[in-house]
Chain A
Amino acid sequence: MKLLRTAILTAAMVSAGAAYGQVSDGVVKIGVLNDMSGTYADLAGAGSVLAARLAIEDLKDVVKDLKIEVVGADHQNKPDIGSNIVRQWIDVDKVDVIVDVPTSSVALAVNEIVKEKNKVFLVSGAATSDLTGPRCSPNTIHWTYDTWALANGTGNAIVKTGGDTWFFLTADYAFGHALERDTSAVVTKNGGKVVGAVRHPFPGQDFSSFLLQAQASKAKIIGLANAGADTTNAIKQAAEFGITQKGQNLAGLLVFLTDVHSLGLKTAQGLIFTEAWYWDMNDTNRAFAKRFAAANRGIYPSMIHAGVYSAVTHYLKSVAALKNDADGAAVVAHMKKSKTKDALFGEGEIREDGRKIHPMYLFEVKKPEESKGPWDYYKTRATIPADQAFRPIGEGKCPLVKG
């Protein structure tokens, strides 16, 4: 019985191999891996799966010959769970591309596995700039944003306006460390000084003792090198302890639309941070946001969701052109060769190190009286042009970059 089975399987594999240039097992399977139930559930979560589906819908003509499936899974922000899911997805479920993956430690783990198995990894959620640095891979493209872009945008702007002494409150994992490292570099480069830092467990709940340490340091700026619920809790507790009353300012280094929504404009007003995309910037974005929110319990899309949409769009275009999704590195190479064009990010390009290039924006949270309705939270303070927004390719130490 086993012999017969093996014989059939071998025959199938041989015939499949012979049909070179066909989509592996006939289906392009997209795996959306992120935090579905924890601190990043709103800014990624099920919304990213929706964004992927919307991208497929909008590409109807281009992909009419392809059979596409989308699956989602919850990595619970744990690298071991994420690794297990990705391995099984690739080995057993024949998933061809992994998308999203917020939480940098999970993204780094997935990065290795995808490289080993020659699939494709499109990162929208994770932040660590190492993905286009020492850990860059021919199978990975880092889409939406990274710690360097955030540090550059926010750090620069704040130091130039007088915030020149910094104390960091850092989430104790890959992302937090990367963000602290990149922002410290920007601060010092611009003549500022980092007077201290403290690491808090991820995810954290009670930041009171860390905030007290920040207060004792007398730094003008308390940089929050964390994200999601950690950032909002820290901001709330800082308000409780009157930290800003005593003259210190909080700098949210990674803030999402959903965070501002949960803080409320009263608490969040005046916060300055950098993002890659906002729904209210033009008509196309607004139309997308309404369509998205209608299917997402009224929650508007974050830049992560937009990134997933954009990445899936470009990926499918490449797969349709190549008529092949089996060789991950080949698909990525094709994606890097062609310029990107999609409804949300417009035109852009992907560099050799896997970094997607587009402009970044410096936003400030509106005062309650300035907002015309729910989710109308940002005003644009500055646009950082695409060629200045990301780390220069030579500085990243990516082995893929020659010379």
Chain B
Amino acid sequence: MVQASEQAASSAPAYGGRSEMIAFALMVLVLAILPAFVYPPFLMKALCFALFACAFNLLIGYVGLLSFGHALYFGWASYFAAHLAKAGTISIPYWAGSWHWLNLTSGPMAPELAILLAVLGAAFLGVVAGSIAIRRQGIYFAMITLALAQMMYFFAVQAPFTGGEDGIQPVPRGHLFGMFNLANDDVMYVFVLVVFLLGFLLIYRIIHSPFGEVLKAIRENEQRAISLGYKTDRYKLMAFTLSAAIAGLAGAVKPFVVQNASLTDVHWSMSGEVVLMTLLGGLGTIFGPVVGAFSIIAMQNYLASFGQWVTIIQGSIFVLCVLLFRRGIVGEIANMFRIKL
């Protein structure tokens, strides 16, 4: 992890912002005109996953933490948003001699409110999970995040509001801010694109900030950072929570796109997929996860009739990337042209 991101980060920072800005402009342009040529619901799904991958990359590429259970935040935010949009009840358990439930009902919520609350929920889960996982490093950290996600998967199977195997469906798209009818695919696309770009820019801002510099320092040499006086645990937890929240944002938008929330979103294979997207796209590059996400979603879509070959190909990509192609697509491009992406 450290090596790939170091290579990506150190190749000619002299160009710094310019190459990134050009790439960003290019990305916005492409994403704006693609819906004319490609089935919009497919693009929207890809955008959600791109944001999810970017959030994941924040942790692995810039802090050096491999979270193998990131589907937890993505999937649960999905459930929260879907449930709030469809039923709009929040049940809070409290203790008063025995367990009671406090039920707050507001009726089906507007999409922006459902998404906001879902993101907060994901952030909360991130804080809790992060504080447990950060107690160990490296491999142990990865395994703990995986196990925590699996535990929450089983909660999802049993919690009544998730609908278990059936999932939550159909999820109404509703009217954004009471004005924009999200049932219209074009309007929905603009919304998803805007959310994606905002999330993307937020991550960019985080990386290129004093906070981000400390994170990179922790990735390179945590002991040194500690000796310099930084409370690294706090920084790691902060980064973890931010990553969880942004993954939650992606997860909260997704049920409005596909109109359902299901166990697939919290399953460990979803966690594996986001790792794959980021690895293929390029760890530690800003645009890598976007490229990786689109590639993998496209592959899943167009090879869907080939059944298990999708899984086999994904596994092969993992193996090939780890052995031969550690920089990923964007990483290799950045390395070739000696620019920063």
| Chain A contact residues, CB within 8 Å of chain B | 2, 36-37, 73-74, 78-81, 83-85, 87-88, 91-92, 104-105, 108-109, 112-113, 172-174, 201-202
Contact = CB atoms under 8 A, between A and B. Distances in A.
B260 A83 contact: yes
Nearest to A203: B165
Given A36-B307, A37-B308, A105-B166, A87 B41 contact: yes
A369 to B, nearest CB: 40
Interface string B168-196: 01100000000000000000000000000
Interface in B281-304: 304
Given A37-B307, A74-B307, A80 B167 contact: yes
Contact of A173 (B36, B164, B170): B164
A308 to B, nearest CB: 19
Contacts of B23: none
Please classify the interface of chain A as helix (H, G, I), strand (E, B), loop, or mixed, using the class held by over half of its residues. helix
Given A78-B262, A83-B259, 20 more contacts: A73-B305, A79-B165, A80-B258, A80-B260, A80-B262, A80-B264, A83-B169, A85-B304, A88-B42, A91-B39, A105-B166, A105-B167, A108-B169, A109-B169, A109-B170, A109-B260, A112-B170, A172-B164, A172-B165, A173-B166
26 contacts: A2-B36, A36-B307, A37-B307, A73-B304, A78-B264, A79-B166, A79-B167, A79-B260, A80-B258, A80-B260, A80-B262, A80-B264, A83-B259, A84-B258, A85-B304, A88-B39, A104-B166, A108-B166, A108-B169, A109-B167, A109-B260, A113-B170, A172-B164, A173-B164, A174-B166, A202-B165
A108 B260 CA distance: 12
Contacts, number: 59
A110 to B, nearest CB: 10
Contacts of B197: none
B157 interface: yes
Interface of B: 36, 39, 41-42, 157, 164-167, 169-170, 258-260, 262-265, 304-305, 307-308
Contacts of A109: 167, 169-170, 260
A174 B258 CA distance: 20
A85 B260 CA distance: 13
Contact of A79 (B262, B304, B305, B307): B262
B307 to A, nearest CB: 6
A22 to B, nearest CB: 25
A38 B142 CA distance: 30
